[in-house]
Every structure is written in C-alpha cells, then in structure tokens.
Homo-oligomer: A and B are copies of this chain.
C-alpha cells in the first residue's frame, strides 16, 4: 500500500464567528479548493483562447481547468521575440494573468535554450549574445514578477555545447563558457531579478551526466530551486523500475523534483532507434481504443509513484490535446476535444481520491480535527464562511464571516 501521508495534514481547526466566539456544536463543511501539489499541464492552448476567445479553445481550456492547478507557458526566444526588440510580452502577460485569475500557477519555459532560439542572435559575437541573453532574463523575469514566479531557467544543458543539428547562438556561448559556467550566469541573473522565484534546471537526459552536472552546479553555488526531469515516453512507458531508479538517483541532492514534461501516448509506440524525437515526423498518428486504455493505465501508475515520492512537488503533462508536439496522440483529450480515458482517470485521482471534502461537527469549543490533503480550503458553517491553507499539522483558528 502506497504511503502518501506526507501529502496530508492531521489538523485541529478551531472555528470562530466574526466576534471571535467559538462556533460550537455546529456542522461545518471543509471543502478543498486547491492542491499544494502541482498538477500541471502545458497551457499553450490558453493563448488563442485568451487572445481571440475562440469557442474551440474554450472547450479545451474549460476541461483543462477542471483538473490542473499549474500550467506551462512558452517563452521560446525565437517565437517570443521573432524580431529583436519586439517581444510578445502582451500576449503572454494576458494569458498568464488569465491563468492566475483561475487559481493556476504559471511557469515560464524556458529562459535559455539552444532550440527554438532567435536566429537574429547569430549576427552577434559571443560576448554580445551572452549580454543579450542576460538582458532578456532581466526584462522578462522582471516584467512577469508576481504573475510568473517560476521559470525553467535553462533547458537541456547536457547536450547544449555538443548539439550539432544546426548552428545556434546558445550552443556557441555554452561552448565558450562551459555548461556550469553558462548555468551559473543565467541562474544568477534570474535570481537577482526575482529572488523568491522557483528556478529550475531542466533536462531530458536522466543519465549520470545530468547527476554530475547538478552536483557541479550546487557546489558552484547555483541557486537551483528544483530539479526538472523531462519524461517524453513516445518510445514506450519507462515502467516502475526505471522510474524508481531515476527518482532514487536524483533525490540524492535533497532538492524538490519536478517532472516537467511528461508524455505517454495512446497510439503506436515510436521506434526505439530514433534518438532525437524530433526526427520522427508523421502525417497521421492515430489514437486507438487499446492505446487509450494503455495510456490511462500508465499515467495512473506513474502519477501514483510520483505522488508517493516525498521530493516530487510537480508533474506536468506536456500536451493537453492530441496532435500537438510531433502530431502524437499524447493528450488527455482527442483532436475533437472529447475526453479520453486518461482524462477521467486523472480527474478521479486529483479531484476525488486525493481530494478532501467532508462534513463534520465542531465540539463545544468550536474544534474539529481533520485528515486532509495539503492545499487550500473553504470552511462553511451555515451562512458563515472562511478559508485557509492546510500545509502542516499545527492547529489553527479560522474566523468565519457572513458571506
């Protein structure tokens, strides 16, 4: 039986009315409104909805919001600032603010990466590229502070200086500065601009290479808040054994772990000989009924394993809808926006099995004791209402007000 006690609190709550008197011997509903755990998903589809209000995307975002409390928005430099000096800040800001208004935490992805980078950077010498990279971090981390306080600061550094598919500005400067040298510069800059931000290092390489890289960064004083692990499993589910082995190795640093980019597909598995997933370009990649059952089963096993691990704080599924990256059947909903078995399974986990919503009765001192999943709560007694966050076992008093 999985031990998930670290996801819960055992809490004594004392309820008082507006005058501070105990609400004694009364019914109270304690109803979770959010998880502390970050159940995330790519939130790219919110952009067309927020900017154009298209109905097609509203169906997407509505079902998205029923499960997730955490979304990733794209800050790929090439797309974000296709012409130097003209960043897409307004679009991203409006979308991030919309998500925030829906109680969704937002992460920006990424501030530095060799892929999907701005081509115009290549006109400059390496010193200037680094300068512009750091200024880009200044500008965007500062502009979004308070709306986006979580960043994938730098992406895929293990391969960065030896990436040879095409020339790009970031591989050039990473060759010059070395991996840890560049990581140090971009993290310091992000940290300077938003000292309270959660800053991630993110990689698809889960080998000892990445372990050694993290070890070096931590000893070099890089302010890494959490280790980001990608898990695009187009070539088949890792399985429990690999997953537990990866968790064991990366938990040795004692840092929080985020599964930042998870993919499990509901169609044919990509052949194992493909090294760079981007090399697999297909016209059609159908989702199949058997594939959808398998996907739901694998996502369930994986989320249960990760939720059980005390250092894992976030899991983000990469594609919400089939047919996004690589045209893969990688989503929780199909291309026609209909819900897949994986959607229903995850919603049940997140909003039923791992969710607290109970009716209790206070004692004569206004107290109740509850065993609840960590998160935000509404407390309702008759026409009195209050709210609180439950993140530890210390007793609290909550004052309810007439709503």
Q: Is the contact region of chain A dominated by helix, strand, or loop, or is it mixed?
A: helix
A216 contacts which of B158, B162, B213, B253 (Cβ < 8 Å)?
A: B213
> Are B208 and A178 in contact, CB atoms less than 8 angstroms apart?
no
Whose C-beta in chain B lies nearest to the C-beta of A162?
Answer: B208
Residues of B within 8 A of A208 (CB): 158, 162, 209
A184 interface residue (CB < 8 Å to B): yes
Which of A158, A180, A216, A221: most chain B CB closer than 10 A? Answer: A216
Question: Complex Cα distance A212/B217, Å?
Answer: 10
How many protomers of this protein does the assembly include? 2
A181 interface residue (CB < 8 Å to B): yes
Whose C-beta in chain B lies nearest to the C-beta of A184?
Answer: B219
A180 contacts which of B181, B184, B215 (Cβ < 8 Å)?
A: B215
Min CB gap A282→B, angstroms: 31
Residues of B within 8 A of A184 (CB): 219
Residues of B within 8 A of A216 (CB): 180, 212-213, 215-217, 219-220
> Are B215 and A179 in contact, CB atoms less than 8 angstroms apart?
yes
A218 interface residue (CB < 8 Å to B): yes
A278 interface residue (CB < 8 Å to B): no
Min CB gap A312→B, angstroms: 20
Residues of B within 8 A of A179 (CB): 212, 215
> Are B158 and A219 in contact, CB atoms less than 8 angstroms apart?
no
A175 interface residue (CB < 8 Å to B): yes
> Are A181 and B220 in contact, CB atoms less than 8 angstroms apart?
no
Residues of B within 8 A of A281 (CB): none
Which of A175, A212, A213: most chain B CB closer than 10 A? Answer: A212
A252 interface residue (CB < 8 Å to B): yes
Min CB gap A86→B, angstroms: 35
Min CB gap A29→B, angstroms: 48
Q: Given A158-B212, A209-B208, A209-B209, A218 and B252 touching (CB < 8 A)? A: no
> Are B162 and A219 in contact, CB atoms less than 8 angstroms apart?
no
Min CB gap A248→B, angstroms: 11
Residues of B within 8 A of A213 (CB): 212, 216
A178 contacts which of B158, B221, B252 (Cβ < 8 Å)?
A: B252
Question: Complex Cα distance A217/B216, Å?
Answer: 6
Residues of B within 8 A of A212 (CB): 158, 179-180, 209, 212-213, 216
Whose C-beta in chain B lies nearest to the C-beta of A179?
Answer: B215
Whose C-beta in chain B lies nearest to the C-beta of A175?
Answer: B252
Min CB gap A220→B, angstroms: 4
Interface string of A166-180 (1 = CB under 8 A from B): 000000000100111
A residues 206-253 in Cβ contact with B at 8 Å: 208-209, 212-213, 215-221, 252-253
Whose C-beta in chain B lies nearest to the C-beta of A213?
Answer: B212
Q: Given A208-B209, A212-B212, A212-B213, A180 and B219 touching (CB < 8 A)? A: yes
Question: Complex Cα distance A219/B253, Å?
Answer: 18
A215 contacts which of B162, B178, B221, B252 (Cβ < 8 Å)?
A: B178
Binding site for B on A (CB under 8 A): 158, 162, 175, 178-181, 184, 208-209, 212-213, 215-221, 252-253
Report the 10 A-B pairs with minimum CB-CB distance, sorted nearest first. A216-B216, A219-B220, A180-B219, A220-B220, A178-B215, A212-B212, A180-B215, A212-B213, A180-B216, A179-B215
A-B contacts, 10 listed (Cβ < 8 Å): A178-B218, A180-B215, A180-B218, A180-B220, A184-B219, A208-B209, A212-B213, A212-B216, A216-B216, A219-B219
